Amino acid sequence: MLEKIKKIGVLTSGGDSPGMNAAIRAVVRSCSFYKLECIGVYRGYQGLIEGDFEELTARSVRNVINRGGTFLKSARSDEFRTKEGRAKAYEQIKKAGLDALVVIGGDGTFMGAIHLQNEHNFPTIGIPGTIDNDIAGTDYTIGYDTALNTVVEAIDKIRDTASSHDRLFLVEVMGRDAGDIALNSGIGAGAEEILIPEENKGIEQLLFSLDKSRKSGKTSSIIVVAEGEKSGKNIFELAEYIGDNLKGYDIRVSVLGHIQRGGAPSCFDRVLASRLGVGAVEALMRGENKVMVGVTNKVVTSVDFEVAIKGQKPLDEELRRVLNITTV
Ligand code: F6P
């Protein structure tokens, strides 16, 4: 192990996700285990620019493993997107005597880390924290499992109304350009149709399927719509189009929104976050840099930031097959 790293900064950036606190906790506790100093950076890269730092010890992360959000707070910093902003951040890094940084977030967070590394040659390790599960080089991102459970619970409740009133519900879920949340929650909640960005079957096909299932005796249906799906219509326009073309449907729209990002993390996310927090500190101590730690086939691994951001994460073909069979 390299002796060099003595003081590690940790921050959360981009959209918060359940389990970020558990990841910070694991980073802090690993530092304490390996006798390293740990500095918490508040409000992501914006706090890095402003020097909004606080020393963290094992005591600082008491009772946070079960809490949603991030106690270090998060931000999407416009200033850090500029070279000048990053130079200011580096000044603060030097002033605080940091030897390395652990950044917890999604692709925007890793892009910021790449710039910091390229311009100032500063060691940085990433931990994937986003509900979207849209990062390559890891099977799961922290927060995704909790979000799925939140969505499934919400759809189960919506289904009570759908079936009591013989209604068709369109439920919009998050995920940015990825359909993972929609596909998995849709299968888990037994949705009749799932619209995802990775596969645009076209609206006519959707109308055909809905008509077919109505003719087969179905009186209520749930369509899970990923926010990034590519039909070219937003969810309200979609609902209107269906209403105009399939008469007799009582249609409602439900946009789940930010409830998907909140709440106590699931056990899965807590364990994942703990493994990746430990993995990140140990990777830094081994001298790794400019990589993200993830879990692939149950093993903690590291991949280049570039791979994490730009690598392909194709939709699970097996799931697609399961979906086709279970929605017939
Ligand atoms: O990346 C997480 C995410 O929740 C996406 O699913 C969503 O598109 C976006 O963030 C929403 O961002 P904001 O909270 O800034 O509106």
Residues 178-208 have pLDDT tens digits of 999 999 999 999 999 999 999 988 999 999 9
User: For residues 164, 170, 173 and 176, what is the CA-based torsion angle, rounded to 10 degrees?
Assistant: 180
Identify the pLDDT of residue 131.
Answer: 98
Residues 6+ apart with CB under 8 A from 323: 183, 186, 187, 194
Q: Which listed residue (16, 99, 107, 132) is catalytic?
A: 132
- 267-300 per-position pLDDT tens digit: 999 999 999 999 999 999 999 999 999 999 999 9
Residue 328 confidence (pLDDT) above 80? no
CB atoms within 10 A of CB 246: 16
Q: Is 132 a catalytic residue?
A: yes
CA 78 to ligand 1 centroid distance, Å? 16
Write out the H or E segment, with its range, that includes residue 9: strand 7-12
DSSP 96-131: HT--EEEEEESHHHHHHHHHHHHHH---EEEEEB-T
Nearest CA to ligand 1 atom 10: 15
Quick check: 103 and 110 in contact, CB under 8 A?
yes
Q: Which domains does the chain have, with CATH numbers?
A: 7-143+265-310 (3.40.50.450), 145-261 (3.40.50.460)
CB atoms within 10 A of CB 65: 18
Nearest ligand 1 atom, CA 175: 6
Residue 1 confidence (pLDDT) above 90? no
Identify the pLDDT of residue 106.
Answer: 97
Tell how far CA 5 is from the center of its chain.
29
The token pair at 200 is 């645009």
Encode 252-263: b = buried (16+ Cβ within 10 Å), e = exposed.
ebbebeeebbeb
Nearest ligand 1 atom, CA 260: 4
Identify the pLDDT of residue 2.
Answer: 47
269 lines ligand 1 (CB under 6 A): no
The mean pLDDT value for 247-270 works out to 96
Out of 29-43, 51-65, 106-120, 305-319, which region has the weakest mean confidence (pLDDT)?
305-319
Model confidence band, residue 315 (pLDDT cutoffs 50, 70, 90): confident
Q: Crossing angle for the helix pair 83-96 and 107-120, nearest 10 degrees? A: 70
Out of 1-15, 35-49, 231-245, 286-300, which region has the weakest mean confidence (pLDDT)?
1-15
- 89-146 per-position pLDDT tens digit: 999 999 999 999 999 999 999 999 999 999 999 999 999 999 999 999 999 999 999 9
Mean pLDDT of the chain: 96
CA 15 to ligand 1 centroid distance, Å? 6
High-pLDDT (> 70) share of the chain, %: 99
Quick check: 294 and 276 in contact, CB under 8 A?
yes
Quick check: 31 and 122 in contact, CB under 8 A?
no
Residue 71 exposed, middle or buried by CB count within 10 Å (0-12, 13-18, 19+): middle
- 55-86 per-position pLDDT tens digit: 999 999 999 999 999 999 999 999 999 999 99
Identify the pLDDT of residue 312.
Answer: 82
113 lines ligand 1 (CB under 6 A): no
Identify the pLDDT of residue 269.
Answer: 98
Nearest CA to ligand 1 atom 1: 15
- Residue identified by tokens 């003595």 is 6
* Cα–Cα dist 11/109, whole Å: 10
Tell how far CA 176 is from the center of its chain.
9
Model confidence band, residue 326 (pLDDT cutoffs 50, 70, 90): confident
